[in-house]
Amino acid sequence: MEWALNRKKRWMVLVGSILVLVQVFVNTSGCFREEKRSLLELKTAYSNHSLLPSWVDDVVDPNSNCCDWECVECDPSSGYVFNLSLSNIRDRDAYGRCFSTPFNWSLLLTFPQLTILDLSHNCFQNFVCQGGSIPINMFEGRDTSAPIGLHILDLSHNKFSGHLPFSFTISPSLVFINLKGNDLTGKIPNYYPRGDNIVAIDFSDNNFKGHIPESIYSLKSLTFLLLAGNQLQEQLSSGICELRNLQILDLSRNKFTGSIPSCFNNIAFQDVNFVFSRGQRATVSPGGAKRYRTQIFGFKYRMGEVQVKTKGSSRSYEGDTLKIMSALDLSSNQLTGEIPRELGDLSGLHTLNLSHNRLNGLIPESFHNLQNIESLDLSNNTLSGQIPLNLQDLYFLEIFNVSYNNLSGTAPEENQFANFDDSNYEGNPFLHWTNSNRRIPPPPAPLDKRKKDDSAVDFTSFYWTFSASYVTVLLALVIILWINPYWRRVWFYFVEWCLFKCFR
């Protein structure tokens, strides 16, 4: 029995050695040939061949290693490409105009371990695939040939247009998806509840219409939901309060109607960090781990350290430490009714923006509990009553705007409120504020001083006017005497007569 086990071990060692040798001889350039071929084909989509200069084939450089190319990163243990970041590789003409470049998504099928795909800030206009439109299974991960390990997908700030497939789904491995700044239309696709790891969705600045799909509310790990700058409408569903781990919710610049759900106090709106591992479930938890600034989304997010583990190796991605910016932004919609007092329970919130709506009623006294608030904007509504005096205990408040409402009474004037001025309160005809918290205009000048200033200004004007007139007359006289002999004789006669009168 022991002899059989030893024989089996010897066979396993032999097979393993053969596999290592095969990989060494087949992959002599340091990267896999099919991946290198696909990368070179991606480069041909650019008309400017000077872009991506390190991407050369074996004819130009037999030792060219695609793992050393710019914008490409390979896993050190497997040798496969796991990070393809073509951000801001724009194809421009001689006038600086950006060419619309098609992107052949089918080529990504040759990258079995692709984890990060960043095509942001380019001019990609549409997808070119074998069979035509965007293949749904690219994001589902059901097809064995699809990049099932994709964690980060950033297609923001391109020229993609049209509709996304209605059955567009979240892959179990996907953590970030960013489609911001395109021209996508139609309804936001109805996501199947398979996105167990999804942390951030940014569909801002497109032309999506309709409502937020209910299936989004089942994404329990969702931390950032950014849908600003679309044409979304209808009333906000209380189902959004099921997203209890949200740190930033931005629904601004849409057409939402109805009242603000009072259940927003069920959402965390606090500091979170996340760690995700390749092939494993991502974890999202509160805490004070190392932070980094992600460049994938428009906001400056402070997130946790990101670790990608592959076959025993670990790679960490982290950046500068930034202050947390938990935010709730519902501005520039058509919301009505009173501000729910429950919003005051969001003690971890740093930014609250409800401006440019149709909200009425009082500013809730419960806002005194927003002890971490740094920016509070309630401007351009129809709020009435007094500003609660207990808001002056919000010591971190740096931005406060209640302009263009129907507020009355006297504004707070202590602590942070001593720094606020007219621009914070204007447009409230019945609201008063003292000199301690408004810009004090310079006192009027004394009457005598004004007279002196006026006289000085008059004399200065007179001197300049007299000098200019004198020079003009003198030049005119010289020119006339030069070109006209008759007047020259008259002038000399006049000068002689004057001299005779003066010295007689």
With 50 as the cut, is the pLDDT of residue 182 above it?
yes
- Rounded to 5°, the CA angle 416-421-427 comes to 125
- Higher local confidence (pLDDT), 148 or 80: 80
Question: Does the pLDDT at position 354 exceed 60?
Answer: yes
**C-beta of residue 301 within 8 angstroms of C-beta of residue 331:** no
User: What pLDDT, on a 0 to 100 scale, did the predictor assign at position 100?
Assistant: 76
More confident residue, 407 or 314: 407
In this predicted model, what pLDDT tens digit does every residue of 71-108 receive, in sequence order?
999 988 888 998 998 888 877 766 767 777 777 777 88
The answer, yes or no, to whether residue 452 has pLDDT greater than 60, is: no
Q: Can you tell me whether residue 224 is helix, strand or coil?
A: strand
Q: CB of 296 within 8 A of CB of 287?
A: no
What whole-number distance in Å separates Cα of residue 402 and Cα of residue 316?
44
> Which residues does residue 383 pair with via DSSP β-bridges, in sequence order?
361
Nearest to 438 by CA among 428, 448, 447: 428
pLDDT at position 46:
80
**Which segment of 43-52, 57-66, 81-90 scores lowest on mean pLDDT?**
43-52
Flag whether pLDDT at 261 surpasses 50.
yes
Please report, for residues 445, 460, 463, the alpha-carbon distance to residue 449 in angstroms, rounded to integers and kept in the order given: 6, 16, 21
Instruction: Please report where in the chains the tokens 């919301």 appear, as a residue.
Output: 335
Helices and strands, counts by H and E, the chain: 6, 30
Q: What is the Cα–Cα distance from 362 to 401, expressed in whole angstroms? A: 15
pLDDT attached to residue 277: 40
> Smallest Cα–Cα separation from 131: which of 161, 149, 109, 156?
109
The Cα 260–Cα 357 span in angstroms is: 11
Structure tokens belonging to residue 256? 């939402």
- First vs last C-alpha separation in the chain: 153
168 confidence band (pLDDT: 50, 70, 90): low
E strand intervals along 193-304:
200-202, 207-210, 224-226, 231-235, 248-250, 255-258, 273-275, 283-285, 291-293, 302-304
> Residue 262 above 70 pLDDT?
yes
Minimal CA–CA distance to 317: which of 300, 332, 304? 304
- More confidently predicted of 131 and 297: 131
Give the pairing type, strands 273-275 and 283-285. Answer: antiparallel
- In this predicted model, what pLDDT tens digit does every residue of 433-449 receive, in sequence order? 875 554 444 455 554 54
Q: Confidence band (pLDDT; 50, 70, 90) for 36?
A: very high
Spatial separation of the C-alpha atoms in residues 212 and 52, rounded to whole Å: 39
Q: Are 306 and 330 in contact (CB under 8 A)?
A: no
Query: Residue 445 gets which letter from DSSP?
Result: P
Cα 145 from Cα 167, distance rounded (Å): 20
Q: Confirm if 371 and 394 have CB atoms less than 8 A apart.
A: yes
Please tell me the predicted confidence (pLDDT) of residue 313: 33
11 SS3 class:
helix
Task: Return the top range by mean pLDDT from 61-65, 84-88, 119-123, 256-260.
Answer: 256-260
Q: Please name the CATH architecture into which domain 331-437 falls.
A: Alpha-Beta Horseshoe (3.80)
Closest CA to 327 of 383, 401, 271, 255: 271
The crossing angle, in degrees rounded to 10, of helices 485-503 and 447-483 is 120
**pLDDT value of residue 285:** 34
Asked if the model's pLDDT at residue 45 lies above 70, the reply is yes
Least confident of 107-116, 150-159, 162-171, 203-212: 162-171
Q: Does position 414 have pLDDT exceeding 80, yes or no? A: yes
> Which residues are within 8 A (CB) of 13 and not within 5 positions of it... i.e. 6 or more apart?
none
- pLDDT surpassing 60 at residue 374: yes
Is the predicted pLDDT of residue 424 greater than 90, yes or no?
A: yes
Torsion of CA 463, 466, 467, 472, to 10 degrees: 160
Per-residue pLDDT averaged across 370-379, rounded?
94
Mean pLDDT, all residues of the chain: 76
pLDDT for 7 equals 58
Provide the strand spans (E) within 35-115.
72-74, 81-85, 101-104
Residue 337 is predicted with a pLDDT of 96
Summarised one tens digit per residue, pLDDT across range 269-309 is 876 544 444 333 333 333 222 222 333 334 333 333 333 33
- The pLDDT assigned to 125 comes to 79
What SS3 class is residue 376? strand
Q: How far is 340 from 343, CA to CA, in rounded Å?
A: 6
Burial (CB count <10 Å: 0-12, 13-18, 19+), residue 226: buried
Range with top average pLDDT, 45-49, 222-226, 437-441: 222-226
Least confident of 125-134, 246-255, 379-388: 125-134
Residues present in the chain in total: 504
| pLDDT more than 70, % of the chain | 68
CATH classification code of 20-317 = 3.80.10.10
Q: What is the mean pLDDT of residues 247-267?
A: 94
E strands, 129-222, are 152-154, 161-163, 176-178, 183-187, 200-202, 207-210
For residue 357, what is the DSSP state? S
Burial group, residue 482, by CB count within 10 angstroms (0-12, 13-18, 19+): exposed
The larger pLDDT score, comparing residue 312 to residue 487, is at 487
Residue 238, pLDDT > 60, answer yes
Lowest mean pLDDT across 186-195, 275-284, 423-432 = 275-284
Q: Is 268 exposed, middle or buried (0-12, 13-18, 19+ CB in 10 A)?
A: middle
Residue 141 reports pLDDT greater than 50: no
Helix (H, G, I), strand (E, B) or coil at 201: strand
- Strand, helix or coil for residue 221: coil
Phi-psi region of 215 (alpha: psi -120 to 50; beta: other; left: phi over 0): alpha
Residue 344 confidence (pLDDT) above 90: yes
| 8 A C-beta contact, residue 230 and residue 209 | yes
CB 42 within 8 A of CB 72: no
Q: Which pLDDT score, from 0 to 100, does residue 271 have?
A: 60
